[in-house]
Amino acid sequence: MRTLRCLFAVLALSSALSCGDRGERWEKPLVVEGPVVAEDKLLFLDRTLARLIAVDDRGSVQSHAVPPSPHGLTAHGSEALFVVKAPTSQHLITLDPSSGTRVSIALPRDFDRIHVSPSGSVAVLTFDSRPNRGPLVRNLNEIGLVDRQARWAPRLVSLSTGALAPRQLLFAPGEAFAAILLDDAVALLEIGPSPRLLQIPLGPQGSARLRPRKGVFAPGGDRLFLLTEGSNDVVTIDVIHTEAAFDATVNFLFLPGAGTLHDIAVVEGLEDGVVALWDQDAAFLDGGGDQGRTLATPVPLGVQRILDLGGALLFFHGSPGAPAQLSAAIAAWAPLEDRFGSDRLPGRLLAPPRSSGASVMLPHMGDQGEAAITLSTVEKEDIRLRLRQKPFALSGRPIATEVDGEGTFFVALQTRRPKTSDPYAFTGAVVSLDPTTEKTEGLVLDEEIGLFGLVGASVFAEHPALLGDLTLVPRASLHRNAARRLDGFFATGMMEETR
Partner 1 sequence: MIRSLVLAALLLPTLASASSPPEDTVVSARRSPPSVEQVPFEAFFRMGALWVQDPGLDLVSETDALPRAEFGVSYAPWSSALSFELSYGIASTSAKSFEIIQSTMILHQFQVGAIGYLPLTGGLRARGRAGGGFELAHLELEVEGGPTYSDTVPLLALEATAGLEWNVPLALPSTLFSLVMDVGYGFRPLEAGFDGLERRVGDDAPKRVRDLPVDAGALDLSGWVLRFGLSLRR
Binding site for partner 1 (CB under 8 A): 3-4, 6-7, 10-11, 13-14, 17-20, 22-23, 26-30, 48, 59, 61, 418-419, 445-446, 465-467, 471, 480-481, 483-489, 491-499
Minimal distance, residue 447 CB to partner 1, in Å? 9
Task: Answer for the pair 145, 155: CB distance below 8 angstroms, yes or no.
Answer: yes
Helical H runs in 28-141? none
Helix spans in 205-314 (H): none
Would the CA dihedral through 347, 349, 353, 358 be positive or negative? positive
Name residues whose C-beta falls within 8 Å of residue 455's C-beta, 6 or more positions apart in sequence: 37, 40, 41, 42, 55, 56, 57, 472
Q: Is 17 helix (H, G, I), strand (E, B) or coil?
A: helix
- Phi and psi at residue 410, to the nearest 5°: -130, 140
36 CB-near residues (< 8 Å, 6+ apart): 42, 43, 44, 73, 74, 75, 80
Evaluate whether 381 touches 358 at the Cβ level (below 8 Å). Answer: no
What is the C-alpha to C-alpha distance for residues 80 and 97, in angstroms, rounded to an integer?
A: 7
CB atoms within 10 A of CB 373: 26
Under DSSP, the state recorded for 291 is G
